[in-house]
Amino acid sequence: MAAYIIRRLLGMIPTLFVITVIVFLLMHAMPGNAFEALVFNPKIKNAAEVYKRLVAENGLNQSLPVQYIHWINNLIHGNLGISSSLNMPVSEAIGTYLPNTLILAITAEIIILVISLPIGLYQANKVNGKLDVSTSFVAIFLYSIPGFVFALVLIFLFSFLEKWLPSSGTVTPGIATSGSLGDRLTHLILPALSLALPSMAYYTRLTRSNTLSVIVADFVRTARAKGLRRPRVMFRHVLRNAIIPIVTQFGFDIGGLFGGAVLIEQIFTWPGMGELSFNATINRDYPLILGTTLLFAVMVLIGNLIADILLAISDPRVRYD
Amino acid sequence: MSEPLLKVSNLKTYFISKYRTVKAVDGVDFEVQKGKVLGIVGESGSGKSMTSLSIMGLIPPPYGKIVEGEIRFEGVDLSKLSEKKMNDVRGNRISMIFQEPMSALNPVLKIGEQIDEVLIRHKRLSKSEARRKSIQLLQSVGFPRAEQIVNEYPHQLSGGMRQRAMIAMAMACEPSILIADEPTTALDVTIQAQVLDLMRDLKEHTGTAIVLITHDLGVVADMADDMIVMYGGQVVESGTADDIFNTPLHPYTNALMESIPVIDEERERLTAIPGTVPSAANFPQGCRFAERCAIAQASCHEKMPELRELQPGHLVRCDLA
Ligand SMILES: Nc1ncnc2c1ncn2[C@@H]1O[C@H](COP(=O)(O)OP(=O)(O)OP(=O)(O)O)[C@@H](O)[C@H]1O
Ligand SMILES: [Mg+2]
């Protein structure tokens, strides 16, 4: 297992290389750079000179291949460069913003699983019953709505009409309980729900359809022929098999959830990776763009690896090698 | 003759939907004697599996239903038993094995776990007691390294081994009846003989009666004490295997006997019965075999023949016999 994981991690390197090259090229294809705005700032007298100096200092006057090799060389030495817009090392910036996104994404994943699995399982057990049909309708409805719409609706309902939950930031500044667990949780609810809702609908459908396809399997009939009681048949025999594609999908979606967080974080001014990469792009902060993109790519690849590991754990027929 | 162990009377199992009624089992009578083997033969679609699943109370929902008849076992009518009481019978007093030993075993549970759970369910054994017993059971069905087999998954075993594991599981609680629905059809010829020998041995040792469903008349001749021949959801002939093989009375039984491949020095002959089984959704009003019958007369197409006792214990559903 360990050898397998190491091999897979090494296998990511070529993919990451290609991704960084593409991002590097696209990034430089965007008009402008981090310092161009200075030229138009009337308060800076010798703007043209300052601009020239900064460009030279940051190596932007060199050819693209040279710049790229420079970046890669630093990366190999564990150095992601200095963010020009934040004036701090990129790694430090990521270190401050990443935990917030992780909290948001993990909370969303928990909400997704805790709510979708039981609903999907229930639906499959009462297939075509009133509750199945109505919840299926709701699920398809929710699935077809993008997450940011939920975000706006949730803010409207719970922050604007009813002032129950805050709609921005991670803590309430300037109150005694600021930063307490409760304070943090209330800030977490709306963004996490917005991120979770579309996937919840999807996972409910996935659980329902997988369960339905397993329920008719021969081995379920065997389990019943053994006289096992219904809950045992459902959980040990049906769910145990139906969950295999679900956990796999779950791993694949980890990276997607990170991407989905970009927009949600903007709406809720949640200081996470989404905010960071968005601002990096607006400010043409090349080192920060590369750093955050690299991280998103790593997340997707790690998600895929987690998917494969979960599959191997949950299905004894799968081998690593 | 002593009281039969199982007595099925006028069993009718239909699949009733808005659009049609499929008469899978249409008025079947037979008895299983203590410690004896009853062979059930008939072409595909004649209702053999549905008859056995009716006994087990495992007719596929939602359309399948026992609409009439009695399944008397140990003084109670199984067809009227609650699900809860029926669960105490299944896998305990009556157990069943199926045609496909691959799909009939749960792919994600170890062989040992799948046998243990029957013992824990019906015999209230602890986990470790159940495991010890499972190993014994596997040894008794001919696994020399049973201690290892309990920790293996179904995909690690060959077809014959899986079917033997299924038999061990079915025999775990020493049932008084084992229903085997084409237990050897999916296996190689040499393995078939081994599995049948095993079933015969177990029967001798435990006194378990066997209901053996098969396409293969040779197997019935070899194993069965009594037999019934089914056609179109009905019993067309029943009696002791000896009587039926010596003096087949129904034209269908005759045709089946002729269709056994006879291999002699020079030629290999296989006379398939011309024509096809009538659809269970739309039976003719007269004799169901009339259309394919070599000796049918006009009256056969009009009136359904009754099952008549022509010789003591030898019944036939044909007016011309
Ligand atoms: N779920 C179902 N819905 C409707 N009809 C069904 C269903 N299952 C079986 N039948 C019908 O019931 C009839 C009897 O089927 P059954 O499986 O008992 O036949 P069989 O004798 O076991 O055949 P085989 O030798 O192929 O196993 C067939 O006509 C079949 O089409
Ligand atoms: Mg069958």
How many Å apart are CA B157 and CA B289, to the nearest integer?
A: 42
pLDDT of residue B119: 97
Coil/strand/helix, residue A23: helix
Would you state the structure tokens that stand for residue A217, as one six-digit string?
A: 């399997």
pLDDT of residue B270: 47
Distance from CA of A230 to the nearest CA of B (A): 9
Distance from CA of B137 to the nearest CA of A (A): 16
Is ligand 1 within 6 A of the CB of residue B288? no
How many Å apart are CA A269 and CA A267, to the nearest integer?
A: 6
How many Å apart are CA A192 and CA A300, to the nearest integer?
A: 19
Dihedral sign from CA coordinates of B313, B183, B206, B70: negative
Say yes or no: B105 contacts chain A, CB-CB below 8 A. yes
Reduced 3-state DSSP string for B232-260: CCEEEEEEEHHHHHHCCCCHHHHHHHHCC
pLDDT tens digit sequence for A80-129 = 888 888 889 999 999 999 999 999 998 998 999 999 999 999 999 888 88
How many Å apart are CA A58 and CA A185, to the nearest integer?
A: 41
Dihedral sign from CA coordinates of B156, B157, B163, B165: negative
Average pLDDT, chain B: 91
Are the C-beta atoms of B226 and B314 separated by less than 8 Å? no
pLDDT tens digit sequence for A201-214 = 889 999 999 999 99
pLDDT tens digit sequence for B27-80 = 999 999 999 999 999 988 899 999 999 999 999 888 899 999 999 998 899 999
Are the C-beta atoms of B214 and B39 separated by less than 8 Å? yes
The helix (H) or strand (E) run that includes residue A13 is helix A2-29
List the single range of A40-54, A144-158, A212-226, A266-280 with lowest mean pLDDT. A40-54
Q: What is the ipTM of this complex?
A: 0.90
The helix (H) or strand (E) run that includes residue B166 is helix B159-171
Q: Torsion angle of alpha carbons B175, B180, B186, B187, nearest 10°? A: 60
- The runs of H, that is alpha helices, within B207-310 are 217-223, 241-246, 251-258
Cα B248 to middle of ligand 1, angstroms:
25
Cβ neighbours, 10 Å, residue A53? 12
Bigger pLDDT: A132 vs A319: A132
pLDDT reading at A152 higher than 70? yes
pLDDT of residue B252: 93
Q: What is the average pLDDT across A306-312?
A: 88
pLDDT tens digit sequence for B30-40 = 999 999 999 99
Q: With an 8 Å Cβ cutoff, are A218 and B153 in contact?
A: no
Q: Which domains does chain B have, with CATH numbers?
A: 6-93+173-316 (3.40.50.300)
Most confident segment among A302-306, B179-183, B279-283: B179-183
List the single range of A29-43, A268-282, A284-298, B87-101 with lowest mean pLDDT. A29-43
Q: What is the average pLDDT across A2-8?
A: 86
Is ligand 1 within 6 A of the CB of residue B49? yes
pLDDT of residue B273: 77
Is cis: bond before B183, omega within 30 of 0? no
Is ligand 1 within 6 A of the CB of residue B217? no
**B288 φ/ψ angles, rounded to the nearest 5 degrees:** -75, -15
pLDDT tens digit sequence for B157-205 = 999 999 999 999 999 999 999 999 999 888 888 888 889 999 999 999 9
Residues with CB under 5 A from ligand 2 (ion): B 49
Q: With an 8 Å Cβ cutoff, are A218 and B108 in contact?
A: no
How many Å apart are CA B297 and CA B69, to the nearest integer?
A: 31
The full set of domain ranges for chain A reads 18-90
Candidates B13, B21, B22: which one to mutate for ligand 1, based on the most atoms within 8 Å of Cβ? B22
Query: In a 10 Å sphere around its CB, with 0-12 CB exposed, 13-18 middle and 19+ buried, how is residue A31 labelled?
Result: exposed
Distance from CA of A218 to the nearest CA of B (A): 5
Whole-angstrom CA distances from B4 to A230, B56, B228 are 31, 17, 15
How many Å apart are CA A241 and CA A161, to the nearest integer?
A: 44
Is ligand 1 within 6 A of the CB of residue B229? no
pLDDT reading at B269 higher than 70? no
pLDDT reading at A28 higher than 90? no
pLDDT tens digit sequence for A244-283 = 999 888 888 888 888 888 888 888 989 999 889 888 988 8
pLDDT of residue B260: 65
A139 pLDDT tier (thresholds 50, 70, 90):
confident
B267 pLDDT tier (thresholds 50, 70, 90):
very low
pLDDT reading at B271 higher than 60? no
Are the C-beta atoms of A267 and A156 separated by less than 8 Å? no
DSSP-assigned beta bridge partners for residue B90? B94
Say yes or no: B157 contacts chain A, CB-CB below 8 A. no
Kind of pairing between the strands at B37-41 and B209-214: parallel
Measured between beta carbons, which residues in chain A are less than 8 angstroms from residue B166? 222
Kind of pairing between the strands at B226-231 and B209-214: unpaired
pLDDT reading at B219 higher than 70? yes
Average pLDDT, chain A: 87
pLDDT of residue B262: 55
Edge-to-edge, what's the strand order for the sheet holding B234-240? B94-97, B177-181, B209-214, B37-41, B226-231, B234-240, B314-316, B308-311
Bigger pLDDT: A319 vs B297: B297
Selecting from A216, A222, A314 the residue whose C-beta is nearest the C-beta of B98 gives A222
The conformation of residue A284, written as its DSSP 8-state character, comes to: T
How many Cα atoms within 13 Å fall on the side-chain side of residue A193?
16
Q: What is the average pLDDT across A37-45?
A: 76
How many Å apart are CA B8 and CA B59, to the nearest integer?
A: 16
B149 pLDDT tier (thresholds 50, 70, 90):
very high
Which amino acid makes up residue B158?
S
Whole-angstrom CA distances from B127 to A234, B90, B113 are 20, 20, 9
Place of tokens 């609810």: A189
Q: What is the average pLDDT across A173-178?
A: 76
How many Å apart are CA B40 and CA B227, to the nearest integer?
A: 6
Cα B104 to middle of ligand 1, angstroms:
18
Place of tokens 């809950």: A231
Closest to B163 measured CA to CA, from B194, B201, B204, B205: B194
pLDDT over 90, % of chain A? 26
Say yes or no: B145 contacts chain A, CB-CB below 8 A. no
Q: What is the average pLDDT across A5-34?
A: 86
Cβ neighbours, 10 Å, residue B35? 15
Q: What is the average pLDDT across B81-99?
A: 95
Cα A6 to its chain centre, rounded Å, is 23
Cα A140 to middle of ligand 2, angstroms:
38
DSSP-assigned beta bridge partners for residue B237? B229, B316
pTM above 0.90, yes or no: no
What b/e readout covers A74-96, taking b as 16+ CB neighbours within 10 angstroms?
ebeeeebbbbbebeebbeebbee
Q: What is the average pLDDT across B201-210?
A: 92
Q: What is the average pLDDT across B104-132?
A: 96
